[in-house]
Chain A
Amino acid sequence: MPLLEIEDLKTYFYSDDAVVKAVDGITYDIEEGETVALVGESGCGKSVSSLSILGLIPSPPGRIVDGEVKFRGTDLLQLSASEMRRYRSRRIAMVFQEPMSSLNPVINIETQLTEGMMTQLSLTKRQAGDRALELLETVGISDPERRLKQFPHEFSGGMRQRVMIAIALSCEPDLIIADEPTTSLDVTIQAQILDLMQTLTRERGMALLLITHNLGVVARYVERINIMYAGRIIEHGASTDIFEKPSHPYTVGLLNSIPRIDRDTRSSLDPIPGQPPDLARLPAGCHFAERCRNAIDKCEREYPTTVEVEPKHTSACWVAEAVYNDNALQLSHA
């Protein structure tokens, strides 16, 4: 049984005159100890889907209208608020993008680190304090005794993100959800933080759900990928398969849009024209049809069914096989 199974999850936001379908029926899973990525551009619903897992969708205006989020078989969406609280940080912990706004500025680091351990693991203040010290060392913060007494503003961005990771690790969860954990950090610090997360989750057998827009990061750290576009997962597969044989035109477009550090100046980008659709006014057929070079008539009428182009590699596209064959062919020639 997978650690986490998401089945046809739908999270909508309601306003007076519109329904924004932020997440519109996504299905994926995460095995124990595995690193999985949810990739997409801003507004594709990747963050909303992860907040839905933990029941953190502000309601109103948001509401989970359908679907299941099964954690080791238990549907988290059916739990009461107090039952849910036992899952947060104890079973599933979260690391957010903005380490400044996710730490409380008027409470010292020690209190923020020990709070969870005292409530979730019923540790005494002394025990929690000792563990907090260890945790700070684990995440590479030197002079932990002094640092524990400090406040968030005394830490740099990278150090704050280390504190966030320490907090996430503190209750020994089975799954860490990291939402763009390094996006606001400098290049050399990004590498430090991601390497740290990879080492720690591997050592402890924790699963990691990495939410990111950065395909480079995905290539370096992730085993399986889900690509999202306009509220749905449009392609899923093992990391190497997706990069070598992308089978959805959007994935192909994304890969052709990223300037690569290993490519010369003259290699040209091939951007996707246009912009993502308004989630309150989604087109009837495939959400990507309007921007798609491979679109056929059917694409504008009917949302594509998901097909398996090779074992464990799926694409929601009417011409998925053709796209797959095309890229597989190029690969064999290369």
Chain B
Amino acid sequence: MHEDRRQDGIANSNGNGVSLIDVEGLSVDFPVGTGTFFSRSRTVVHAVDDVSLTIYKGECLGLVGESGSGKTTLGRAILRLQQATQGRVRYGGEAMDEMRGRDLRNLRRKMQIIFQDPYSSLDPRMSAGAIIGEGITIHKLATDRAAYSERVAELLQMVGLNPEMARRFPHEFSGGQRQRIGIARALAVEPDFIVCDEQVSALDVSIQAQILSLLTNLQADLGLTYLFVAHDLSVVRHISDRVAVMYLGRIVEVAKSADLYRNPLHPYTYALISGIPVPDPRIEAQRQRVVLGGEPANPANPPSGCHFHPRCPFATEQCAVEKPELREIDSSRLVSCHRAEELVLEGV
């Protein structure tokens, strides 16, 4: 069953699948104040800069990038938790920005998010059962009190918690258990699509592995579609069918997971991969690595041309002037680099 789902995912990423979410030219700008208190001038940060992206039904799309790359903002804008400045998101072909009232509320039920911090995302004054059940009540998904309690108990069991824990409060749970509650809350409204925002990055490895396995199994059992936002490329490789890489608000590469890691086409993807050590000293000793100089530029004042050019070991004059478009290299790969065809970059 598990294998089948993966096969579907791969088929989807070949473009045979049905798209669930289409992001079209999406931009999110944030105004920021600069200057002193008295002479405040306004500038704009393009947190998400003209992003187009498709998420296929039943796949897990990984979205990676460093802090400030705009990956979280993109995830939130897809859910309309963040108003887009430009562009639109289609869910199952319907434009979300035109929806209002009941239609929007129904759609919201199908799209859920699980947050990074299991401490601040659960209301400390609500019991675990109430947290999980809130959505069931709002969306009237239970016919009576008994059905409600039964459903809450079922959800707790689904995420590997004891149904008796429904009466406990968040502070009585460990970080891993709280993440499970967050997952149960998202599942309560029977969604099709879940955004997992840096969901496992605060957890210890042994707990992280438990949660990742849970997410994978739930996806297979319930036919969910995930957008998995994370900075940890190893975790993303493990869970994703396809991966999109962001740098300073733009998507620089999209590919099937195995292709991206084995054979990165964008120098930034290459640097990210080479920055992650493999837990095997013999492999580490033989790996070819590049360590990037400098730090990501200030998003309020991004470099000209390709945003990555000041840090790129392969940059030419063209890169400083001309913005590379995200273009198709083959049917399942997109990359925005002028030199994608000529560079030979080694993955892992």
Contacts and interface: CB of A to CB of B under 8 A. Distances in A.
Interface of A: 41-42, 156, 158-159, 186-192, 195, 213-221, 239-240, 243-244, 253-273, 275
B238 A263 contact: yes
A259 B238 contact: yes
B345 interface: no
Contacts of A239: 281
Given A188-B271, A213-B205, A275-B176, A219 B210 contact: no
B176 A261 contact: no
B85 interface: no
Given A187-B66, A191-B275, A261 B237 contact: yes
B292 A219 contact: no
Given A215-B205, A265-B6, A265-B239, 7 more contacts: A216-B234, A219-B277, A254-B206, A259-B235, A261-B276, A262-B278, A273-B210
A78 B3 CA distance: 61
B275 A41 contact: no
B240 interface: yes
Nearest to B69: A186
Contact of A271 (B206, B231, B274): B206
Contact of A264 (B205, B258, B280): B258
B272 interface: yes
A244 B261 CA distance: 24
B326 to A, nearest CB: 21
Interface string B174-205: 10100000000000000000000000000011
B341 interface: no
Interface string B324-348: 0000000000000000000000001
Given A187-B233, A189-B295, A195-B291, A216 B279 contact: yes
Nearest to B200: A259
B213 A271 contact: yes
Contacts of B205: 41, 213, 215, 254, 257-258
A192 B292 contact: yes
Contacts of B278: 216, 219-220, 260-262
B49 interface: no
B212 A187 contact: no
B253 interface: no
A257 B237 CA distance: 14
A265 B275 contact: no
Given A187-B231, A265-B239, A243 B281 contact: yes
A115 to B, nearest CB: 27
Nearest to A194: B277
A269 B292 contact: no
Contacts of B274: 191
Contact of B280 (A156, A219, A267, A275): A219
Given A190-B275, A267-B238, A261 B233 contact: yes
A80 to B, nearest CB: 38
Nearest to B210: A271
Nearest to B237: A261
A259 B240 contact: no
A152 to B, nearest CB: 16
Contacts of A253: 206
A263 B279 CA distance: 11
21 contacts: A41-B206, A42-B204, A186-B66, A186-B296, A187-B231, A187-B272, A188-B295, A213-B204, A214-B277, A219-B278, A240-B282, A259-B238, A261-B348, A262-B261, A263-B238, A264-B237, A265-B241, A269-B238, A271-B207, A271-B210, A271-B213
Contact of A219 (B206, B279, B289, B348): B279
Contacts of A220: 277-278, 281, 284
Interface string B104-138: 00000000000000000000000000000000000
Nearest to A142: B294
B277 A216 contact: yes
Nearest to B236: A259
Contacts of A266: 3, 6
Contact of B212 (A159, A214, A269): A269
Interface in B47-79: 66-67
A141 to B, nearest CB: 11
A267 B235 CA distance: 12
B209 interface: yes
B235 A188 contact: no
A255 B278 CA distance: 11
A240 B286 CA distance: 14
Contacts of B235: 259
Contacts of A254: 205-206
Contacts of A273: 210
A220 to B, nearest CB: 4
A42 B239 CA distance: 24
Residue of B205, B232, B275, B295 with most partner-chain A CB within 10 A: B205
B238 A188 contact: no
A147 to B, nearest CB: 14
Nearest to A196: B291
B26 interface: no
Contact of A186 (B6, B174, B213, B231): B231
A260 B234 contact: yes
A258 B66 CA distance: 20
Contacts of B283: 219, 262
Contacts of A261: 233-234, 237, 261, 273, 276, 278, 348
Contacts of B277: 214, 216-217, 219-221
A157 to B, nearest CB: 8
Contacts of B27: none
Contacts of B292: 188, 191-192
B209 A188 contact: no
B68 to A, nearest CB: 9
B219 interface: no
Contacts of B291: 188, 191-192, 195
